[in-house]
Amino acid sequence: MSVPVVSLREITAETVRAICELEPHRAQDGFVAPNAVSIAQAHFNSAAVFRAVYADEAPVGFIMWRPGDDGASCFLWRFMIDKHHQGKGYGRETIALWLKSLPSQGYELARLSYLPGDGGPHGFYLAQGFRDTGETRANGERLMELAL
C-alpha cells in the first residue's frame, strides 16, 4: 500500500462543507477555532491565506497563515488535522510543505502562537523545529518561531 501524498489545496464552493466538518479530538477543542470560523475570519482579512490539507483525495485538515507585521516573517494563524487522521504524519508533512514554501515568498522567519495546556500543540511544534521565544500575549498564548 502506498503512502498518501499530502497537498495543500484551495477551498472551493464544492469542498468548503467537507473542510468545515473536519474537527480535532474533543480534548483539543480549546486549542483551535472551528474551520468555519477560520474561513470566515480569512474572508475579512485580505492578507490571510488558507488551504485545505489533503491526503491523496481525502480532506484531512486545514491551515491558515498571514504575513507578519515586519514583512520578513509569516505567522501560522490556524492549523488542524481531523481527529480521524491524526497520528499518520499528515501534520508533520503539512508543516514541512508550508515551511518549504515560505523562503520563495521572501519570508525569513515562521512564527506561531499556542495556548499551553494538556493535549495542546506545543510538543508537536517543538518537534517541527520551532523554538519558544519567551513571549506571552495578553490572551495567554505563547509565541514560537523558526528561522527559515
Q: How many residues does the chain have?
A: 148
Q: pTM for this structure?
A: 0.94
What confidence score (pLDDT) does residue 48 get? 97
Q: State how far the alpha carbon of 23 is from the alpha carbons of 54, 61, 77, 106, in Å.
A: 14, 8, 16, 32
In order along its 148 residues, the chain shows pLDDT tens digits of 678 999 999 999 999 999 999 999 888 878 899 999 999 999 999 999 999 999 999 999 999 999 998 889 999 999 999 999 999 999 999 999 999 999 999 999 999 999 998 888 999 999 999 999 999 999 999 999 999 9
Classify the C-alpha dihedral 61-118-122-68 as positive or negative: positive
Look at domain 6-147 and name its CATH class: alpha beta
Closest CA to 6 of 59, 79, 76, 45: 59
Answer for the pair 30, 117: CB distance below 8 angstroms, yes or no. yes
Q: Taking the domains of the chain in order of start, what are their residue ranges?
A: 6-147
DSSP state of 141: P
